[in-house]
Amino acid sequence: MRRLLTVLLFLALIVVAGITAAFMIHMNPRPVKSQARLAITERENGSIFLSWAQVEGAECYNVQISAIETDGSIGDTLLEVSTDETSCALPELPLDRELSFVVTAKFKEDEPTEVPKADSYIEVKGFICAPNTSKLERRTSVDDATVTLSWDVSEGDSYQLYQVDENGNLTPIDTPDNGLKTMNFGENGEYSLPGMGEAPMMIILEATRETDSLIYRKRCSPVISIDRNSLMGTDPDLSFSDNGDNSYTLYWQETKGNGYKVELWDDNDNKWNEVADFSLEDERIYNTGHLKSNRSYHYRISVKGGASLPSVGMDGSTDEVVITTSTSEYYALIWPMKDLPIYATITDSQPVGTAKAAKAYCVANVAEGIEYDRFYIEDGTVAGYIDSRYCMINLSDYLGDLCSYDITNSYGSIFKVHEFGVNDITGKVLPGYENVHREDGTFLVPLLYPVAKKLEVAARQALVEGYRLKIYEAYRPHETTRFIYDTTNAQINNPVAVRTFSGMPMELFLKDSGNDIFNEKINGRVDTDALAEKYKTGIYDSSEVIPESDADASVNLNTETQQAYARSFVNQTQELKGAEEAMKLAELINTGNYEITVSNLPEGGSIDGKGYIHTADGKEVLDEVGYWTWAAFELKEINRATYTDIHGNEMPSNKYGVIFNDFITRNGFRMGSFLAVSGSRHNKGTALDLTLEDIETGEELKMQTAMHDLSVYSVTGKNNEMAKVLDRIMTNVAGFNGIVSEWWHFQDDKIVNELSDLPYLEKGIDSECYYTKDGKTFNQMNADGTFG
């Protein structure tokens, strides 16, 4: 019985020794064969250690490594060392010779032990069989956040993947057996990404080669560090979702870098403007808030680089998206055409307040009705719903970039009579348009809401055909209509200027345009070919086209003589009367607005080059003291109007008898054909003046005349092909009506018939209101569009 117990105890110790040996190197279990007694471990720095199982009660161990001769005898001792550890460092050992490893446990002499001597003595003989681990490769994919390890499995029996903690302790995490291991990180992966600011994940791969009694463990590489940034790309992969009501949310993925900037492109300043800043710890979500109707917004995410992206400096990679909004009334400016009752709900019959005519309000909500929609408004004191049919809506808010806008009456009117400027109108800000041109360069463009819906149909059709509607005028106050009519009508019989408003000589413009006025009143009276050459070369002077007087040349001198005698007069007055008076006289002469007469010139007499007068027979005229008499010049202002051209130069009128009325009251047309005498559809907010522009270039299409040309050349009977395209889109497609005298004018007669009580508005619109900014909070909006 005693012998049997001893055998069982011996077997148990062998098992314990085998298992314990697997723990000794890294204090963690290793997948080794149970009969293995010794383990050789090669660390990343190249050092080699021999380890064994701890023997209970052992005070120290004696290690002896010797070479074995070919005849099996023990040869030279390669290492002999005593240690109190269960491992020892090895010298470089020969791989081509069989070796003997003997580890003997030593006990204190006064401490008896029950460990059998056989269990305190380990002897292993064999060749060292280190695994080949030189072919380990690592690939990191930022697209799917993976790290892939691959290696040659031909020289190893097994492999183990460990995670290393900050103390160097190892935790086995996988036992790959096919030379390939892909580690998936992130929310859907098997491994968690290191958190923000956390230490990287440290892993090692170890190869093992085994014999019956000897294990050789070798790391396939130094410690592999997997930090958060190494699994991140540089592309934020920006995307967005539609929240409804032209509100959107931007999303992007985590990237290398130090943070993110959300930027919005500004077409006016031609640059990116930062709208939000995010740190790495922030949630990568940005809400745009309400965006304006029918616009394209260019957003981008810029990765802040710094040390994480040294190759790109402070700003790293970017990704852009374009958000195109839909048509929406929300947060658009509106103006009631008349005082409208405000109802707390769409079913109430008792109003809670009144929305004032022509006052600006902001649409905070829209309630769809069976007959018509209601706009919800607030003004700081009362809130509720009003009838949308009687409201003008700001087209630049409602239709946005479906159209372009240039409300010239708000900064420099282009009303002209066949390119000839009208005093007090052309180039001026017209009454009623003072608050239309905003500080940011945009315009307020009011049009009755039901008409604006119809205009959207035309705008989208134009885009399909490669054009964009360009609106020059929509609502026009009645006071403006009367001002334009009365001011133009008062000048209808005035001669037009010697140059058009854009600067072309009158004769050239009339000739080049094929105008029959040229043949009637100008042909044969001016050398237009010579004038055209001078104009082309830039030598042209407006005084050259002021014709000579028909009066006696000896009294009313022509332009060339005026200038010659003026120079003579200036020379003498500089000597006798002072330069200031002389130059003032010369400036007056050179304007071409004065005629010179010589009051003391004898009949048939003349003036010499020095300004002295002579009798008809050539004798000098002497004064009472016997000195030669200078010519006495008299200036007489020519009685004709002057006009200011686009360059700010005052231009006199012509002397050929070409008047404004020559372009207006012809072929049955009159002033009232172009300008309303009393009320206009513009005054009801149901008409607009517009043209077409090329969607690619932004250039206006060439019509038969310029916009707002108050002449018979603008009538639809003279429409060119482009004007016919505009007419087709507006009338056939969208259902507007045109008028025969203006190719640019279209109106909605149907809505005027439906809303028989729709009034004319006398004054311009109000531009201050209680405004919903970004669809979130209410603010007072000033006349210039800024917020108070």
Q: State the SS3 of 183-251.
A: EEECCCCCECCCCCCCCCEEEEEEEEEECCCEEEEEECCCCEEECCHHHCCCCCCCEEEEEECCEEEEE
Could you tell me which of 133, 67, 77 has the C-alpha nearest to residue 100?
A: 67
Q: Which residues pair with 124 in a beta bridge?
A: 101
What is the number of residues in the chain? 788
Question: What is the model's pLDDT at position 360?
Answer: 93
Q: Where are the beta strands (DSSP E) in 252-308?
A: 259-266, 271-279, 285-290, 296-304
> What number is the average pLDDT over the span 10-14?
38
- Express each pLDDT in 159-201 by its tens digit: 889 999 888 888 998 988 788 899 999 878 889 888 877 889 9
Please write the tens of the pLDDT for every residue from 373-415. 999 998 888 899 999 999 999 999 999 999 999 999 999 999 9
Give the separation between CA 279 and CA 257, rounded to whole angstroms: 10
Q: What pLDDT band is residue 316 in, cutting at 50, 70 and 90? A: low
Question: Residue 471: in which H helix or E strand, if any?
Answer: strand 467-473
Give the whole-angstrom CA distance, residue 639 versus residue 140.
90
Closest to 461 in 3D by CA, of 716, 695, 706, 719: 695
Hey, CA dihedral for 530, 534, 535, 541, is it positive or negative? Answer: negative
**Surface-to-core class of residue 618, CB atoms within 10 Å of its CB (0-12 exposed, 13-18 middle, 19+ buried):** exposed
Q: pLDDT tens for residues 211-227?
A: 878 888 888 878 889 98
For the chain, how are helix, strand and coil distributed in percent, rounded to 5? 20, 35, 45
d(CA 69, CA 274): 80
Q: What is the pLDDT of residues 484-529, one digit of tens each?
A: 999 999 898 888 888 888 888 888 888 877 778 887 777 777 778 8
pLDDT at 278 (0 to 100): 94
Query: What sign does the CA torsion over 110, 113, 118, 122 have?
Result: negative
For residues 717-730, average pLDDT: 97
Confidence of residue 663 (pLDDT cuts 50, 70, 90): very high
Cβ atoms 542, 575 nearer than 8 A: no
Distances (CA, A) of 763 to 264, 439, 452, 469, 684: 38, 21, 21, 26, 11
**pLDDT the model gives residue 538:** 63
Write down the pLDDT at residue 232.
81
CB-CB contact of 747 with 687 (8 Å): yes
How far is residue 629 from each of residues 556, 602, 612, 623, measured CA to CA in Å? Answer: 20, 11, 6, 6
Q: What is the mean pLDDT of residues 622-647?
A: 70
Name residue 403's beta-bridge partners: 469
- pLDDT value at position 752? 95
Question: Do 741 and 669 meet the contact criterion of CB atoms below 8 Å apart?
Answer: yes
**Closest among 485, 515, 520, 487 to 500, alpha carbons compared:** 515
> Smallest Cα–Cα separation from 740: which of 731, 729, 752, 750?
731
- Distance, in Å, from the CA atom of 470 to the CA atom of 472, rounded to the nearest integer, reads 7
How many other C-beta atoms lie within 10 A of the C-beta of residue 216? 21
Could you read off the pLDDT of 298-308 as tens digits, one per residue? 999 998 875 55
Q: Is the pLDDT of residue 98 over 80?
A: yes
Q: Tell me: the pLDDT tens digits for 111-140?
A: 665 656 556 778 888 888 888 766 788 898
What pLDDT score does 581 carry? 56
CA-atom Rg of the chain in angstroms: 49
Q: Report pLDDT digits (tens) over 325-355.
A: 999 998 899 999 999 999 999 989 999 999 9
- Residue 505's contacts (CB-CB under 8 Å, 6 or more residues apart) are 498, 499, 531, 535, 540, 542, 545
Residues 58 and 115: their CA atoms lie apart, in Å, by 9
Q: Dihedral, CA atoms, 444, 445, 446, 450, nearest 10 degrees?
A: -140
- 737 and 748 Cβ atoms separated by less than 8 Å: yes
């110790």: which residue's tokens? 13
